[in-house]
Amino acid sequence: MNNTPPPPFFPWEDKPANEKGVVWRYSANPIIPRDLLSTSNSIFNSAVVPFGNGYAGVFRCDDTNRRMRLHAGFSRDGIHWDIEENDVCFTGADPEVGAWVYGYDPRVVWIDDRYYVTWCNGYHGPTIGCAWTTDFKLFHQLENAFLPFNRNGVLFPRKINGRFAMLSRPSDNGHTPFGDIFYSESPDMTFWGRHRHVMSPARFEDSAWQCTKIGAGPIPIETAAGWLLIYHGVLASCNGFVYSFGSALLDLHDPWKVLARSGPYLLSPQKDYECTGDVPNVTFPCAALHDPATGRLAIYYGCADTVTSLAFGYIDEIVAFTKRTSIT
Ligand code: BMA
């Protein structure tokens, strides 16, 4: 267990009086501009965790060569971020795996005694890269979890049945027009197996925002009602893909069993900064902070593949919404 006390400041803003949804946006969005770094074209789809007296994260920073890189960052309040100018240099991997090609859409989670990072890692196509760190300075790279092609590798925050557990989304080498979420286990973060199917895209008639492909978002949150999973879903519109996100509840012991799944989205691209950018109409969550004492949730999501924003909600309300609107 990570026994350090929670950071003194939790990023939060109360729900506006006129808000209809169970999730609402931070009024000062986006929190991270595209050009925060001297060489960044865009900063989005990024992961944050409590760290020391504040927060740390791994950020997707595409540079002005349009190369996809990962950068570490630090914050006192979870809102204002210092992101390192130099990208993360992973160490210790078999050179075959460690030769950097590209990396994007990181997730970060504390398990047992260290932070694990997973990301979409270039190795003859996209697959799931893995590493660990204790200080966000030195990152030790592990084996890729799966064969290409795969994306959206998301670890559970504790071992399940004594093994590391990960969700992932097998895909193709391009802008994949399909995609189901699967579950896998590993005794050692090297060998992965016991693969189980979790969820397919929804039927168009039932929930069109998630009818083309889906992928796990932030690290699942353990609740009495099951693992709360926030995931993105894609609609193939006549103007291209539209990325929204919703919620599901997975069985605590057998997390490939879906207990409930929201029909409506929690959030979809509607604000200018979500609809306009390098890839229009994308809201893509990769991390969430939660405060067990109050049930508050702060969701970090990429907007239009350009900037990073925050949205808020209460875990209990999202769980109730997931059950109330379930399409399973
Ligand atoms: C997905 C990933 C994400 C991106 C999204 C929209 O396939 O590449 O990083 O946000 O497409 O472009």
1 C-alpha to ligand 1 centroid (Å): 33
State if residue 231 touches ligand 1 by the CB under 6 angstroms criterion: no
Residue nearest to atom 1 of ligand 1 (CA): 175
Asked whether 236 lines ligand 1 (CB < 6 A), one says: no
What is the model's pLDDT at position 197?
Answer: 98
Q: Given this model, what pLDDT does residue 6 score? A: 87
For atom 12 of ligand 1, the residue with the nearest CA is 279
pLDDT for 2:
64
Q: What is the structure's pLDDT at 4?
A: 75
Ligand 1 atom with least separation from CA of 305:
10
Q: Which atom of ligand 1 is nearest to the CA of 241?
A: 6
Q: Which of 58, 70, 175 is the pocket-test mutation for ligand 1 (most atoms within 8 Å of CB)? A: 175
Position 106 pLDDT exceeds 70: yes
**Residue 284 Cβ contacting ligand 1 at under 6 Å:** yes
Q: Is 123 in the pocket of ligand 1 (CB under 6 A)?
A: no
Q: What would the mean pLDDT of 258-285 be, rounded to a whole number?
A: 98
pLDDT of 30 reads 98
Q: What is the pLDDT of residues 94-103, one digit of tens each?
A: 999 999 999 9
Task: List the residue whose alpha carbon is closest to atom 4 of ligand 1.
Answer: 305
| Residue 215 alpha carbon to ligand 1 centre in Å | 11
| Residue 234: partners with Cβ closer than 8 Å, 6 or more residues away | 179, 201, 209, 210, 211, 212, 213, 214, 241, 242, 243, 244
Bridge-based pairing of strands 139-141 and 126-133 is: antiparallel
Backbone conformation region of residue 316, classed left if phi is above 0, alpha if psi is from -120 to 50, else beta = alpha
Residue appearing with tokens 């999202």: 318
Measured from the Cα of 279, ligand 1's closest atom is: 12
Nearest CA to ligand 1 atom 2: 105
**Nearest residue by C-alpha to atom 11 in ligand 1:** 175
pLDDT in tens, 170-206: 999 999 999 999 999 999 999 999 999 999 999 999 9
**Ligand 1 atom nearest residue 171's Cα:** 7
Could you tell me which of 294, 327, 328 has the C-alpha nearest to residue 313?
294
Q: Cβ(105) to ligand 1 under 6 A? A: yes
Instruction: Give 84: exposed, middle or buried? Use CB within 10 Å, 0-12, 13-18, 19+.
Output: middle
In the chain, pLDDT over 90 holds for what percent of residues? Answer: 98
pLDDT digits (tens, 9 = 90+) for 11-59: 999 999 999 999 999 999 999 999 999 999 999 999 999 999 999 999 9
Number of the ligand 1 atom closest to the C-alpha atom of 284: 10
Q: Mean pLDDT over all residues of the chain?
A: 97
